[in-house]
Amino acid sequence: MSVPSQKLLRLAGVKGMNDILPEQATLWAYFEEVARATLRAYGYQQIRTPIVESAALFTRSIGAATDIVEKEMYCFTDALNGEQLTLRPENTAAIVRAAIEHHLLYDGPKRLWYSGPMFRHERPQRGRYRQFHQLGVEALGFAGPDIDAEIILMGQRLWDRLKLKGLRLELNTLGQPHERAAHRAALVEYLRQYIDLLDEDARRRLETNPLRILDTKNPALQDVIRGAPQLIDFVGEASRAHFETLGRFLRANGVSFTINPRLVRGLDYYNLTVFEWVTERLGAQGSVAGGGRYDTLIGQLGGTPAPACGWALGIERILELLRENEQHVPHESHCDVYVLHDSEAARMQAFIVSERLRAAGLQVVQYCSSAGAPARFKTQMKRADASGAAYAVIIGGEEVARGAVTIKALRCSADAARGSAAQQRVAVEHLTRALFDTSTGAHGVESKG
Ligand code: ATP
Ligand code: MG
């Protein structure tokens, strides 16, 4: 019996989880480099934690009645030992977990940063993915508003270095837990009067997380919300002073902001300062970064209570803004020299020459054939051109016989303008020197006639 020939199924990536292709990776690397340098300027140290944590870490910290825990987490049972695990939806809880586990605060407060993929089961759309990337900072063990100001200034400096314009900073204070509780009671009482106007989501939240109702995007609820009791009216003297000092620090350093009394953020662990950087340039996904103070989280997760604050930015959203002003992004050349060969004997020489150039610190790409024999020089030269290399190094039969190579300038460079030969043959042992000399405009190499 003959088996019907089966077409092989082509597999696709998981919905909402993106490949970052080489041409995009350049921009990612640029962003990471600028961010790293900025964070270093403030003395923040990198920390790397696993992407999988126990599910309880997030339910206990983010809060059971939040969007993330209610519907966005990727949870699974470890088939080997039955543990309940989660792909991290954010990283603050994990950093706090690691800090407690490794006694990081034993010898004083810590300034930390992290970067990596996060996972939320959301409806994929522009700026909203299921695997996305955050870069964040966490200042653990600091109580004063000066550190709130420090992390905000650090964000502002990052936007400046990236030449990102049009990000608006919104600030609010949530007060302390008991102040929030008093506001919550008043809010629930107020909203109950309008129960008929509330949508299904808001009715459910009335019991679980009424503060989040203030954050609703439903236009029909905006009138009700405008008249709701404001948290700021329940916030005590000390909390207000913290907020006012933060404002003074920011103004003294030229950071402008607006106070948004409705900014509550989608995680339960915040108190006092919360903030977000928003833009109008990304459509519905206007929040590019956010954070705040979480003075109770360390204690809540079993550590010795200590104050803390931090923020996280969404790398995809920042990169989308960067792409809009691409003129600012430096082009990253991945190749100085492209090495060509035309035969088996020349191929060996090409290998040796390429390694020699790399040892001298140059970025070298070597032609390798896609079939058996090397392609014609003309075809190879097209690849050399496309590589962005400044020079081609050509090794043919004649070069092998003479222990030489031919250098060809591929770009209209300064030395060409000065009248240097565009193509020169040099002995192999003088190649590195010749390349460095050529690029600085010096002479002393044999010109090919
Ligand atoms: P949003 O209101 O857009 O859902 P959020 O309040 O859930 O954002 P945070 O938890 O504060 O976001 O995370 C900080 C940043 O991470 C956001 O400002 C955003 O830039 C980014 N971010 C959050 N969720 C996603 C996602 N699903 N895809 C891409 N970026 C995201
Ligand atoms: Mg969200």
pLDDT per position as a tens digit, 275-309:
999 999 888 878 999 999 999 999 999 999 999 99
Q: Which ligand is nearest to the CA of 89?
A: 1
| Pocket-testing residue among 134, 170, 268, ligand 1, by greatest number of atoms within 8 A of Cβ | 134
Mean pLDDT of 148-172: 96
Q: What number does the ligand 1 atom closest to the CA of 134 have?
A: 16
Q: What number does the ligand 1 atom closest to the CA of 317 have?
A: 20
**Sheet with 84-87, side-by-side order of all strands:** 52-54, 84-87, 74-77
Q: Which ligand is nearest to the CA of 266?
A: 1
Q: What number does the ligand 1 atom closest to the CA of 286 have?
A: 3
316 CA distance to ligand 1 centroid (A)? Answer: 10
Is the pLDDT assigned to residue 331 strictly greater than 80? no
Mean pLDDT of 134-140: 98
CA-based angle 331:337:341, to the nearest 5?
140
Strands 258-259 and 271-278: unpaired
Three-state SS for 195?
Answer: coil
Instruction: Note the maximum CA span of the chain.
Output: 94
122 CA distance to ligand 2 centroid (A)? Answer: 8
Mean pLDDT of 205-210: 86
Take atom 2 of ligand 1 and give the residue whose Cα is closest. 287
Mean pLDDT of 189-198: 92
Q: What number does the ligand 1 atom closest to the CA of 127 have?
A: 29
120 CA distance to ligand 1 centroid (A)? Answer: 9
Residue of 89, 81, 22 lying closest to 51 (CA atoms): 89
Indicate whether this model's pTM tops 0.85: yes
Instruction: Tell me how far apart the alpha carbons of residues 89 and 121 are, in angstroms, rounded to a whole number.
Output: 9
Residue 148's CB is within 10 A of a number of other CB atoms, namely: 28
317 CA distance to ligand 1 centroid (A)? Answer: 9
Three-state SS for 21?
Answer: coil
Band of residue 410 on the pLDDT scale cut at 50, 70, 90: very high
Take atom 29 of ligand 1 and give the residue whose Cα is closest. 128
Band of residue 445 on the pLDDT scale cut at 50, 70, 90: very low
Instruction: Tell me how far apart the alpha carbons of residues 211 and 96 are, in angstroms, rounded to a whole number.
Output: 25
Mean pLDDT of 124-144: 97
Mean pLDDT of 258-266: 86
With a Cβ cut-off of 6 Å, ligand 1 is lined by: 90, 120, 122, 127-129, 132, 134, 266, 285, 287-290, 312-314, 316-317
Name residue, tokens 């962005």: 388
Q: 409 near 390, Cβ under 8 Å?
A: yes
285 CA distance to ligand 1 centroid (A)? Answer: 8
284 CA distance to ligand 2 centroid (A)? Answer: 12
Residue of 376, 370, 367 lying closest to 335 (CA atoms): 367
Q: Does CATH place domain 337-443 in 3.40.190.150? A: no
- CATH level 3 topology of 22-176+236-324: BirA Bifunctional Protein; domain 2 (3.30.930)
CA distances, 302 to each of 60, 61, 414 (Å): 11, 11, 63
Q: Which ligand is nearest to the CA of 130?
A: 1
Take atom 21 of ligand 1 and give the residue whose Cα is closest. 314
Instruction: Check residue 8 and give its pLDDT.
Output: 84
The pLDDT tens digits for 226-246 are 899 988 899 999 999 999 999
287 CA distance to ligand 1 centroid (A)? Answer: 7
Name residue, tokens 């404002």: 247
Q: Take residue 105 and report the two structure tokens written for it.
A: 């605060």
| Residue type for position 395 | I
Q: What number does the ligand 1 atom closest to the CA of 72 have?
A: 27
Residue 310's CB is within 10 A of a number of other CB atoms, namely: 23
Residue of 413, 64, 12 lying closest to 207 (CA atoms): 64
Mean pLDDT of 8-34: 94
Instruction: Check residue 444 and give its pLDDT.
Output: 35
The pLDDT tens digits for 77-113 are 999 999 999 999 999 999 999 999 999 999 999 999 9
Q: Which ligand is nearest to the CA of 131?
A: 1
Q: What number does the ligand 1 atom closest to the CA of 267 have?
A: 10
Question: In DSSP terms, which residues pair with 135 in a beta bridge?
Answer: 115, 313
Average pLDDT in the chain: 90
310 CA distance to ligand 2 centroid (A)? Answer: 17
Residues 6+ apart with CB under 8 A from 418: 441
| Residue type for position 180 | R
Mean pLDDT of 15-34: 94
The pLDDT tens digits for 340-379 are 999 988 999 999 999 999 999 999 999 998 887 888 999 9
Instruction: Check residue 268 and give its pLDDT.
Output: 80
Q: What number does the ligand 1 atom closest to the CA of 68 have?
A: 7
Question: In DSSP terms, which residues pair with 170 in a beta bridge?
Answer: 258, 276
93 CA distance to ligand 2 centroid (A)? Answer: 16
283 CA distance to ligand 2 centroid (A)? Answer: 15
Q: What number does the ligand 1 atom closest to the CA of 90 have?
A: 10
Name residue, tokens 């989280």: 297
Mean pLDDT of 376-388: 92
89 CA distance to ligand 2 centroid (A)? Answer: 10
| Pocket-testing residue among 311, 317, 318, 320, ligand 1, by greatest number of atoms within 8 A of Cβ | 317
Per-domain boundaries in the chain: 22-176+236-324, 337-443
